[in-house]
Amino acid sequence: MLLQLIAATLLPLAAVLLILVFGIQRLVGTDLAPLVRLERDLLSRDARDLSPVQVQSQVRDFVRLGESFNALLATIRRAVVAQREFAGNIAHELRTPLSGIRALAEFGLRDGSQAVMREQLAEIIRTQDKASRLVDQLLALAFAEEVSGTLRREPVRLDTVVREALLRFIERADAQRIDLGASGLDEPVMVLGNTALIEGIVNNLIDNACRHAFLENPLAHHPQITVSLDVLDSQVRLAVTDNGVGLPEARRAEVIQRWRKSSRESLLREGAGLGLAIVSEYARLLGAQLALDSGPAGAGLSVAIEFDRG
């Protein structure tokens, strides 16, 4: 009787258990099938294939996983396209000065006269300086991409950064007969930012004004560049203003984009259109606001950055 009771009790339970195991295995296999297909799809892809993946499943979590993965692929795809475009632009911009240096050297060697060789060597130095400046700007943009997302703002003495930048540019400004001045440096001015990025902003703004503002501007009989600091309620406004050729309002949005040059005639021959792009990128990383406006009395250009007070 005991054996009959055990058999009558355990045999149905064993049958039910086997049915449950088989059913659960089929359900799990069916639900995990999209993940298996996703794995096979990714393993069979070429490294350059960043097209979206197809995840069809009744499980909502798997669908969201596929959407998240496609969003990541889209981000990577945009970054790859940007890097390819950036590399192409680099090759194009560097090819011109390097080819020019070679052509100048070959011409000087063919002519052989001392006067021509001195002239060609001076031109080689100028071209090399342009290429070096381009490399420095590219490194500045690479630095901005490197610190993006990991930058921590800290208190920075903005007046000290500006004063040191003015000392670096004063000899160059004197050579170009530019009146380089400043205002608002009498008291300490603290802002939230990063010293290296703020130095890059100030240096690029002053360099951009010295390089482009007064070329082909016969009306600027007394060229001036003024760096000013104004302390507001919760922000500090840094402005670099010149009385040079200025920039049409319709074209101001273009100069803060990479590889875009303004409508100034001088910019068609000088620079690669990166100076204000670097300033714009650095300002974005620092959470600062960038604004371009006309200078005093509508002449020249004023580039202003508003930092959070430290």
Q: Which residues pair with 157 in a beta bridge?
A: 190
Note the CATH number of domain 74-147: 1.10.287.130
The CATH H-level superfamily of 154-308 is Histidine kinase-like ATPase, C-terminal domain (3.30.565.10)
Report if pTM > 0.85: no
Structure tokens at 19: 């049915």
Ordered by start, the domain boundaries in the chain are 74-147, 154-308
Going by C-alpha positions, the residue among 174, 295, 306, 297 that lies closest to residue 229 is: 306
Q: Provide the residue-wise pLDDT of the chain in tens; the chain has 310 residues.
A: 777 777 777 777 777 777 777 766 665 556 667 777 777 777 777 777 777 777 776 667 777 777 887 888 888 877 777 667 666 666 666 666 677 777 777 777 776 677 777 777 777 777 777 677 667 766 666 666 666 667 788 999 999 999 999 998 898 888 888 899 999 998 999 999 888 889 888 988 998 888 877 766 545 568 889 999 999 888 999 999 988 887 777 676 666 665 444 433 333 334 445 678 788 888 888 889 998 888 877 778 899 999 998 7
List, as own/partner pairs, every contact residues 135-142 make where C-beta atoms lie below 8 angstroms and the sequence separation is at least 24, other chains included. Answer: 135/94, 137/272, 137/274, 137/275, 137/278, 138/90, 138/274, 140/200, 140/204, 140/274, 140/278, 141/258, 141/274, 141/277, 141/278, 141/281
Residue with tokens 């070959």: 106
Give, in order, the Cα–Cα distances in Å from 175 to each of 30, 36, 171, 206, 210.
78, 70, 6, 15, 11
CB 243 within 8 A of CB 224: yes
